[in-house]
Structure 1
Amino acid sequence: MYDAIIVGARCAGASTAMLLARQGHNVLLLDRATVPSDLPHGHFIHRGGPQRLQKWGVLDKIAAAGTPLVSNIVMAAGGVPVPGKGLFVDGVPFGCGPRRVVVDGVLVETAVSAGAELRQQFLVEELISDGGKITGIRGRDLSSGKRFTEHAHIVIGADGRNSRIANAVNAPMYDHVPSVSCYYFSYWSDVPGDALEVHVGRENIIFAFPTNDNLFAVFIAWRMEKFHEVRADVATRFMEALNIAPELAARVQAGNQEERFYGTADLPNFFRKPYGPGWALVGDAGHHKDPYMALGITDALRDADLVATAVHDGLAGRRPMQDALADFERERNQTSIPLFHENLARARFTPPPPEFAQIRDALLANGNQDDINQFLMANLGLLPREAFFNPQNIGRIMQQTAVA
C-alpha cells in the first residue's frame, strides 16, 4: 500500500511526488504518456517560480539543460517599449522558459531520485472507494496490457484541466468562465534576444522569450471571437499580429521557423474544490486560467508545495487529513482568486487606466533604470503593487519629470 498515488507526472504531479518522497513517504507516480515529453503549452516561469525551483535544488539542473535564465524584459503597451534590466528576486533571475520536456524531466528525475516510483504509459481507468472514501486506483499498462490494482491513503489528481480524477470524484467547480481568448505559437532559430518581451495591443498580446536549443518562442493571443478566422490561415494572421511590435517582427522574419504552429482555444477559467475523502487535486486539475499572465507553471509549483505540506501533515498524524487539505484550498485561493480576476480582465484586453501611460512616459523621460525596474516588477507581480504605485512614489517620479 502506498502513502500517495499521484496521477499525472508533469510539473504539478512530479513536484508533489518529489516533495512527499523527500519527506519519507511511499509515493507512486503515474502518467499515461512517456515522460518526459514535450507539451504544446505555454512554459515561461516567473512570479516566484524560479525561486521555488532554486529552493528545491533543481533550477541549476534546468539551466544546465540549456535553459536561458532571464533577467531582462521589454514591456510595451501602445507601441512604447519599456526596458527592464537585471531583474532578480532573492538573487535569482526573475524568469525562465524551459521547454516542458526539460522542466518536467528534471522534476520527474528528482522525484525518482528521492524515492518515488514512476510508471509511465499507465492509464488509470477507475478509482476504488470504500465507504465513500477513495482508497486506490485500477488501471492498465498501455505497453503490456497488464492490469493493476493499487491502494493508497490518498490519490492525488495532477492530470490537467480535463482531469479524469476530478471527473471521477465529481469535484465541484466554481468561478467558471468559458474561454475568452485563443493562442498560437511557434519557435524560431537565429533570432537574437535575451529578454522576456511582452507587447500589448488593442486586439493582441505577444509574449516572446529565449528557450532551449537556442530557439526563440513567440506566443500570440487573440480575442476568442477571432479563433476561426485565425485558424483558417494561422501563418498570415500570426505575422499580421506580430507587426504591433515592428522590431520584434523584423527579427523573427529574419530567423528560421523550426516547428509548426501550435494553438488552442480550449482555455477555460475555473476553480475546483481540490479535496475530499481520500483524494486531492493539484495544478490545472484544481485551478485553470487563461495563459495571459503566464502563471500556469508557477501556480502548479506553488500548489504542489501547498498540497504536499497538507498531505504530509495528514499522513504524519499532525492533524486530520481533511483539515489539512481545507487549509490547502484556503491558501491556494487566497493567492489565486485575486490573480484570477486580474488575469481575466487582462485577457479580455481591458485597457489600462490613463495614468499608466503618464507614469510610463515620466519614467522613460527620467531615465532612472531602478525606477523603471520597480515599475516593471510591480506590473509583473514580482513586487507588491503598493510598493511602487503609492502616492508618495508616484509624486516623486512626476516631480522629477517636471523639474527636468
Structure 2
Amino acid sequence: MYDAIVVGARCAGSPVGMLLARRGHRVLVVDRATFPSDTVSTHYLQQRGLARLAAWGLLDELVATGVPAIKHMTVSYRDIVIAGFADSINGIDATYAPRRTVLDTILVNGARAAGAEVREGFSVRELIFEDGRVAGIRGSVAGGELQEERAPIVIGADGRNSFVADAVSAQRYREVPAECFIYYSYFSGVRTDFHSRIGEREQVGIWPTHDDRTLVAVMRKTEALPEFRADPETHFHAIAKAIVPEFAEELATHGKREERFYPMRYPDNYYRESHGPGWALVGDAGYHKDPLTGLGISDAFEYAQLLADRVHDGLAGTTPMDEALAAYQRERDEKSHSSFEFTCAISTLELTPQLHAVFRALGGNPEYAKDFFAMIGGGLTGEEFFAPERMAKLLGAPA
C-alpha cells in the first residue's frame, strides 16, 4: 500500500513524486517509457521554472550537463522587434533549453533519490475503483504479469492523452481550438541566442540546446499542413528566410541538420477537470496551452509543487483530501489564467489591435521591454504587466 501513485514520470510526475517522498510519504511513480528517452518538446525553461529546480536542488546538476545559458532574447512580430532580457528573477539571470533526454532523467533520478519507487517501462492498464473512489492501478511491464498497486490518491501526470483522465471521464471546461502546426529539428554549425519571430501567419523559433546544437522550429496555420508536409525541407528553409533572412543564410551555408524533422499538429488549448474522489491530474493531463510561449515545462514544475503541497495536506490530515484537491485546481486556474489568455491571443500568429499597439510600443522602449521579458520569465504576472496604469504610460495615453 502506497500513500500516492503517480502515473507519468516526466516534467510533472517525477517532481510530484519527489516532493511527496521528501515529506516522508511512500510513493510509486510509473511510466511506460524508460529513461533517458526523448519526447516532443519546446525544451525551454524560464526563470520561474529554473527557480523551482534550484529550490529542489537540481539546477546545478542541469547546468553541469553543459546546456548553453541564454541571456538575450529577440521576439518580433512582422517589422516590430523587441530585444533584451529580464533582470535577475529569484536569483536566476539566465534561461536554458535542455534536451528532454537530459532533463527528464535528472527529474526521474531526483524522485528516486528522494525515496520514491520508480518503475520504468510500466504501462497502466486500468484504474481500481472502490466505493466510487479511485483506489489504485493495475498494469505491467512489457510481457510481464499484471500487477496491482493501491493508494488513497492516484495522480495522472501522463500528458495530454492521459489514460488517467480518460479512465475517470475528466471533462474539459475551458477550450480554445488550436490554429497551427510545428516542424522542428536540431542543427549543428550555427550558434545563436533565443529568437521567437512571427511573420505573415508563420513563425520561427530558434534557441541553443545540448551538444552544440540549435533547435530550429517553424510554425504555420493548420490549413497549410498538406502543402508543407509534401516537402518539409523546402518549406522549412523558405519560412526561415522570409522571417529571419540573416539566420536563414547561416543555416543554409553552415548548418547541418542532425536529426529528422519532428512534426506536431497542435492539440487544443484547454483546462480539464483535475480532481475527483481519489484522483488528480497535473501537467498537460490537466491543463495545456499552445507551445508558442514555451511555458509548458515551467508550468509543470509550478503546479507539480502546488499539487504536492495540497496532497500532503490531505495525507497529513490537516485538510480533507477532497477539499485539498479542489483547492489545488482552483489555485492552478487562478495562477495560470493570464498566461493562458495571453498565449491563446498570440498563438493565432495575428495580433489583436490592442496587442499590436503594445508590441509596437515595446519595440521602442527598452525598459518596458525588460518588463515584458520579466513577464515571460515569471517575474511579473500578466495582470501586473498589462495593468491599465502601466499600459497608459507605455502607450503614452493619460492614466
Normalised by the size of structure 2, how large is the TM-score?
0.92
After superposition, the C-alpha distances for 1:332-374 in whole angstroms (9 at most, x for unaligned) are 10022332222112111232535335424533xxxxx555423
In the other structure, the counterpart of 2:20 is 20
In the other structure, the counterpart of 1:356 is 358
- Preserved contact between residue 362 and residue 397 of structure 1 (Cα < 8 Å): no
Cα distance in 1 for residues equivalent to 2:279 and 2:296: 22
- Secondary structure of the 2:318 match is coil
In the other structure, the counterpart of 1:207 is 205
In the other structure, the counterpart of 1:99 is 99
In the other structure, the counterpart of 2:264 is 264
Cα distance in 2 for residues equivalent to 1:212 and 1:257: 14
In the other structure, the counterpart of 1:226 is 224
Per the alignment, do residues 174 and 211 of structure 1 end up closer, same or farther by CA in structure 2, a change over 3 Å counting? Answer: same
1:150 aligns with 2:152: no
Alignment of 1:144-293 (within 5 A): 144-193=143-192, 195-243=193-241, 244-253=243-252, 254-293=254-293
After superposition, the C-alpha distances for 1:299-352 in whole angstroms (9 at most, x for unaligned) are 111110111011100000011000000010001100223322221121112325
Q: Which amino acid aligns with 1:356?
A: V
Give unmatched runs, 5+ long, in structure 2: none
User: C-alpha displacement at 1:287, in angstroms?
Assistant: 0.9
Q: Which amino acid aligns with 2:139?
A: G
Cα distance in 2 for residues equivalent to 1:126 and 1:396: 56
Cα distance in 2 for residues equivalent to 1:165 and 1:386: 33
User: C-alpha displacement at 1:173, in angstroms?
Assistant: 1.5
- Preserved contact between residue 9 and residue 35 of structure 1 (Cα < 8 Å): no
In the other structure, the counterpart of 2:127 is 127
Bigger Cα displacement from structure 2, 351-360 vs 60-69:
351-360
1:377 aligns with 2:379: no
- Preserved contact between residue 48 and residue 377 of structure 2 (Cα < 8 Å): no
Cα distance in 2 for residues equivalent to 1:111 and 1:39: 19
Cα distance in 1 for residues equivalent to 2:392 and 2:33: 55
Per the alignment, do residues 349 and 396 of structure 1 end up closer, same or farther by CA in structure 2, a change over 3 Å counting? Answer: closer
In the other structure, the counterpart of 1:402 is none
- Preserved contact between residue 191 and residue 216 of structure 1 (Cα < 8 Å): yes
User: C-alpha displacement at 1:23, in angstroms?
Assistant: 0.5
Cα distance in 2 for residues equivalent to 1:163 and 1:30: 13
Cα distance in 1 for residues equivalent to 2:86 and 2:295: 21
After superposition, the C-alpha distances for 1:200-223 in whole angstroms (9 at most, x for unaligned) are 112112221110111101111111
- Secondary structure of the 1:11 match is coil
Count of residues in Structure 1 that have an aligned counterpart in Structure 2? 392
Cα distance in 2 for residues equivalent to 1:296 and 1:4: 24
User: C-alpha displacement at 1:146, in angstroms?
Assistant: 2.1
- Secondary structure of the 2:350 match is coil
Per the alignment, do residues 240 and 378 of structure 1 end up closer, same or farther by CA in structure 2, a change over 3 Å counting? Answer: same
Q: Which amino acid aligns with 1:211?
A: T
Per the alignment, do residues 395 and 275 of structure 1 end up closer, same or farther by CA in structure 2, a change over 3 Å counting? Answer: closer
User: C-alpha displacement at 1:33, in angstroms?
Assistant: 1.2
Bigger Cα displacement from structure 2, 248-257 vs 282-291:
248-257
Cα distance in 2 for residues equivalent to 1:85 and 1:16: 30
User: C-alpha displacement at 1:232, in angstroms?
Assistant: 1.6
Cα distance in 1 for residues equivalent to 2:40 and 2:312: 32
Q: Which amino acid aligns with 1:184?
A: Y
- Preserved contact between residue 99 and residue 209 of structure 2 (Cα < 8 Å): yes
- Preserved contact between residue 174 and residue 271 of structure 1 (Cα < 8 Å): yes
Per the alignment, do residues 389 and 336 of structure 1 end up closer, same or farther by CA in structure 2, a change over 3 Å counting? Answer: closer
- Secondary structure of the 1:146 match is coil
Cα distance in 2 for residues equivalent to 1:296 and 1:326: 22
Cα distance in 1 for residues equivalent to 2:367 and 2:341: 29
After superposition, the C-alpha distances for 1:67-88 in whole angstroms (9 at most, x for unaligned) are 1232211122224433315742
In the other structure, the counterpart of 2:330 is 330
- Secondary structure of the 2:358 match is helix
In the other structure, the counterpart of 2:54 is 54
In the other structure, the counterpart of 1:139 is 139
- Preserved contact between residue 82 and residue 363 of structure 2 (Cα < 8 Å): no
User: C-alpha displacement at 1:387, in angstroms?
Assistant: 5.7
Normalised by the size of structure 1, how large is the TM-score?
0.91
Cα distance in 2 for residues equivalent to 1:346 and 1:394: 18
